[in-house]
């Protein structure tokens, strides 16, 4: 059975605008893909530990030596909009 998913909810979580046609197509396609993907549950027994990375590494540090970092103007060069050396975004907080 294809999996039923709440497309509007998932699209809201993903901050993704979808047209009605896209939603319809995704609802059908994701349902089928997830039905196939759910096969993982057939073999993933409780005593099998999960793997997040095939070659695990932890506490990887590099020497704490100062070095030049990305220049301000380089970091801002690709921004759609800037003001006073900062990224500019549409209003976030409603003003009273």
Partner 1 sequence: MSVTHLCDLTGTELAAKLRAGEVTSAEITASCLARIDTVEDRVRAYLTRTEDVARARAADVDARLANGEDLPSVAGIPLALKDVLTTRGIRTTCGSRILESYVPPYDSTAWARLSADGAVLLGKTNCDEFAMGSSNENSAFGPVHNPWDLDTVPGGSSGGSAAAVAVGEAIWALGTDTGGSVRQPASLCGVVGLKPTYGLVSRYGLIAFASSLDTVGTFTRSVRDAAVLLSSIAGKDPMDATSLDGPKRNYTEGIEQGVAGLRIGIVREAFGEGVQPGVKASVQAAIDRLASMGAQVGEVSLPHTDYALSAYYLIAPSEASSNLARYDGVRYGLRVEGGDSVEMMRKTRGSGFGPEVKRRIMLGTYALSAGYYEAYYGQAQKVRTLIIRDYEAAFESYDVLVSPTSPTTAFRIGERADDPLAMYLSDVFTIPANLSGVPAISIPSGLDDAGLPVGLQVTAPVLAEPTLFRVAHALEGELGFDALPPLVAAL
CA 3 to CA 29: how far, in whole Å?
A: 10
Q: Which of 74, 83, 84, 96 binds partner 1 (CB under 8 A)?
A: 74
**37 contributes a contact to partner 1 by CB under 8 A:** yes
**68 contributes a contact to partner 1 by CB under 8 A:** no
Q: Which of 80, 83, 95, 96 binds partner 1 (CB under 8 A)?
A: 80
**64 contributes a contact to partner 1 by CB under 8 A:** no
Per-position b or e across 67-82, b if 16+ CB within 10 A of its CB: eeeeeeeeeeeeeeee
CA 56 to CA 71: how far, in whole Å?
A: 33
Compute the least distance from the CB of residue 39 to partner 1, in Å.
4
**28 contributes a contact to partner 1 by CB under 8 A:** no
Residue bearing tokens 């089928």? 32
Q: Which is nearer to partner 1, 62 or 66 (CB)?
A: 62
């Amino acid at each position: 059975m294809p999996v039923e998913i709440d497309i509007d909810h998932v699209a809201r979580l993903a901050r993704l605008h979808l047209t009605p046609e896209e939603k319809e197509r995704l609802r059908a396609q994701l349902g089928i893909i997830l039905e196939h993907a759910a096969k993982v549950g057939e073999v993933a027994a409780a005593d099998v530990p999960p793997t997040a990375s095939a070659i695990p590494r932890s506490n990887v540090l590099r020497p704490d030596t100062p070095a030049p970092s990305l220049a301000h103007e380089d970091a801002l060069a690709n921004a759609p909009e800037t003001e006073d050396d900062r990224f500019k975004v549409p209003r976030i907080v409603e003003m009273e």
